[in-house]
A and B are shown apart, each in its own frame.
Chain A
Amino acid sequence: MVIMRIIWFASQIAFFGLIASRMVAVEDYFRYYVGGLSVMTLYSAAVFIGFDIYEEAEHGVFEYLLSLPVTRRQLVLGRSIGGGLRAFIYVGPLICISLYVIGIVNPLNFLLALFSLFLFAFGVSGMSITLAVVIKSSDRFDILMGVLDALIVRLSTAMYPLSFVKEANPIYGWIANFNPVTYAAELFRWGAGVESILSFENPLLPLLGIVLFFGFFMFVGIVLYDKSIEGGGWR
Chain B
Amino acid sequence: MPPIIRIENLTKKFGNFTAVDHLNLEVEEGEILGLLGPNGAGKTTTILMLATVIRPTEGTAYVGGYDVRKNPDKVRELLGVAFQEPKLLWVSTPWDVVNWHAKVCGLSTQERKQRVREVLEALDMWDYRHRSVHALSGGMRKRVEIAKVLIQRPKIAIVDEPTAQIDVVGKHKIWRMLRELCDSGTTIILATNELYEADVLSDRVGIMHRGRLLVCDTPQKLKDSIVGGDVVEIQFEVEPSPKIIESLDQFKEVVKVIRTKASTLRLYLNKVEEVVPKIMSTLMMEGAVVSSIRMSEPSLDDVFAHYTGLTLEEAQKGGR
Contacts and interface: CB of A to CB of B under 8 A. Distances in A.
B254 interface: no
A59 B54 contact: no
A71 interface: yes
A112 interface: no
B87 A60 contact: yes
A69 B104 contact: yes
Interface in A36-82: 55, 59-64, 66-72
Contacts of A69: 76-79, 104-106, 154
Given A59-B87, A64-B83, A70 B104 contact: yes
A59 B76 contact: no
Interface in B64-105: 73, 76-79, 81, 83, 85, 87-90, 101, 104-105
Given A60-B85, A231-B55, A232-B54, A67 B79 contact: yes
A121 B83 CA distance: 33
Contacts of B87: 59-61, 63-64
B52 interface: yes
Nearest to B48: A63
A217 to B, nearest CB: 21
B289 interface: no
Interface residues of B, number: 24
A66 B104 contact: no
B51 interface: yes
Contacts of A64: 81, 83, 87
A195 interface: no
A28 interface: no
A59 B83 CA distance: 12
B53 interface: yes
Contacts of B76: 67-70
A67 B83 CA distance: 10
A61 B88 CA distance: 7
A63 B73 CA distance: 15
B53 A68 contact: no
Interface string A222-234: 0000000011100
A10 B259 CA distance: 89
A72 B55 CA distance: 14
A61 B78 CA distance: 20
Contacts of A55: 90
Given A60-B83, A63-B83, A63-B87, A71 B52 contact: no
B53 A67 contact: yes
Contacts of B81: 64, 67
B104 A59 contact: no
A171 to B, nearest CB: 41
B90 A71 contact: no
A231 B48 CA distance: 12
A134 B54 CA distance: 16
Contacts of A230: 52-55
Contacts of A68: 76, 101, 104-105
A70 B105 CA distance: 8
Nearest to B154: A69
A192 B302 CA distance: 78
A164 B79 CA distance: 57
Given A61-B89, A64-B83, 8 more contacts: A60-B83, A61-B90, A66-B51, A67-B83, A68-B104, A68-B105, A71-B73, A231-B55
Interface of A: 55, 59-64, 66-72, 230-232
20 contacts: A59-B87, A59-B90, A60-B85, A61-B90, A62-B53, A63-B53, A63-B83, A64-B87, A66-B51, A66-B52, A67-B53, A67-B76, A67-B79, A68-B101, A68-B104, A69-B76, A70-B76, A70-B104, A71-B73, A230-B52
Interface of B: 14, 48, 51-55, 73, 76-79, 81, 83, 85, 87-90, 101, 104-106, 154
In the A-B complex, the 6 residue pairs with the closest CB atoms: A64-B87, A67-B51, A66-B53, A67-B81, A69-B77, A69-B76
